[in-house]
Amino acid sequence: MPPALYALTAGAFGIGVTEFVIMGLLLEISADFGVSIASAGLLISGYALGVVVGAPVLTVLTARWPHKTVLLTLMAIFVAGNAACALAPSYGVLMAARLLTALAHGTFFGVGSVVATGLVAADRKASAIAVMFTGLTVANILGVPLGTWIGQSFGWRATFWAVTLEGIAAFAIIALLVPKDDRVQAAEAGGWRTDLALVLRPPVMLRLLTTVLGYAGVFAVFTYIAPMLTRISGFGPAAVSPILLVFGGGLVVGNLLGGRLADRSLVATIFGTLAALAVVLALMMPGLGLPAAAVILTGLLGVAGFATVAPLQIWVLSKAEGAGQSLASSFNIAAFNLGNAIGAWAGGVVIDHGPGLSFVPLAAAVFPLAAMAVALLATRTGREANPATAPACPN
């Protein structure tokens, strides 16, 4: 893999820390600003909303810029947003700063995926995307615990200053290693309206819906994994963080495994990883009652959940081949975050209005099964839309 890929990984690491570290700082932030923990939790939802909205909008606004210029601009926004978080004098300003930071998220991963696939041979594209997303998985294993420790030891603002410095370093690495690209992204495609029309075609929209449904299943459980481990599995609060490290290790394994398998057979990997995710979620319902099984299944949730990421990303890119790739890729990042929000909401409904916490994994298993049904429809729609080229497509 070329060094430029690891520059993208560095950017992904910083963005991943920013997205998830807030979960470990809710108590400190709520106490500092005098708001409830639930209100502090809205900083997570607000960030996700910023990704969903910002990914397509910012991609459209930068559609005629060279890829490297876009990436550097996004990292500059990332640095400014985190510095604003560190300096925020009120809860409202912190929320606005989180929204600003989120604008860089979707477009970075969207454009970064296009850049990553352009750096390698055709049979390594999914693996290249997986390498970039490794930054996101490592952020969960190392960056989030470290950022939480910094925030608890030196104040939550120190965490955002640390992430700001990481963003500056990522900016410099991208500027140094990512090759210059003078080609205007959308000139040959007729502009963003043509790209948007390509994204809104049924084959692409069905693939985006597959992403939403597949990842909703992951976050329906992951959002409530701490109370599941303490109230169902019987672990003490101090055991949750080490178990989440097991989950993070599963993310890394699943991410790289999914990319490698997708390079061999994309569609088979799509259906295989979604089926594996459904099985793991279904097994978690009885398995959470056994401490050892709960730890193993938490790790397998990370493997199965993130094994879907690179295949789903390259699947959308393959249908947008030749035009609109950056926009389609950014839409898919937005789809992942929309799935996060839907999954968290659905899990909450099961807890508050349904059979309760122990049934959340079984309810979550419905999402990847629905994703498989949509994926099947997407493959058939794709063949009908491109009958002449279907045999030659990687999907």
pLDDT tens column, 199-219: 778 888 899 899 999 989 998
Q: Which domain holds residue 53?
A: 1-185
Q: Is the pLDDT of residue 383 over 70?
A: no
Write down which residue in 165, 185, 205 finishes a domain.
185
318/306: higher pLDDT:
306
- Give whole-number Cα distances, 99 to 61, 78, 298, in Å: 17, 10, 30
Residues near 48 by beta carbon (within 8 Å), at least 6 away in sequence: 102, 337, 338, 340, 341
CA atoms of 42 and 49, how far apart (whole Å): 10
With the C-alpha atoms ordered 363, 381, 125, 176, is the resulting torsion angle positive or negative? Answer: negative
For the chain, how many residues are written?
Answer: 395
Decide which of 185, 203, 237 is a domain's last residue: 185
pLDDT of residue 272: 94
Q: Which residues contact 380 (CB under 8 A, 6 or more apart)?
A: none
Smallest Cα–Cα separation from 22: which of 120, 126, 139?
A: 139
Q: Do 247 and 201 share a structural domain?
A: yes
Residue with tokens 């701490």: 226
128 and 207 belong to one structural domain: no
Q: Percentage of residues in the chain with pLDDT exceeding 70?
A: 91
Q: What is the pTM of this model?
A: 0.75
Nearest-angstrom CA–CA distance, 71 and 174: 8
How far CA 15 is from CA of 18, 19, 107, 137, 249, in Å, comes to: 5, 6, 11, 11, 18
Residues 249 and 167 in one domain: no
CATH, residue 332: 1.20.1250.20
Residues 268, 346 within the same domain: yes
Token readout for 55 is: 């990914």
Please tell me the predicted confidence (pLDDT) of residue 373: 95
pLDDT of residue 38: 63
**Residue 152 has what pLDDT?**
80
pLDDT of residue 36: 77
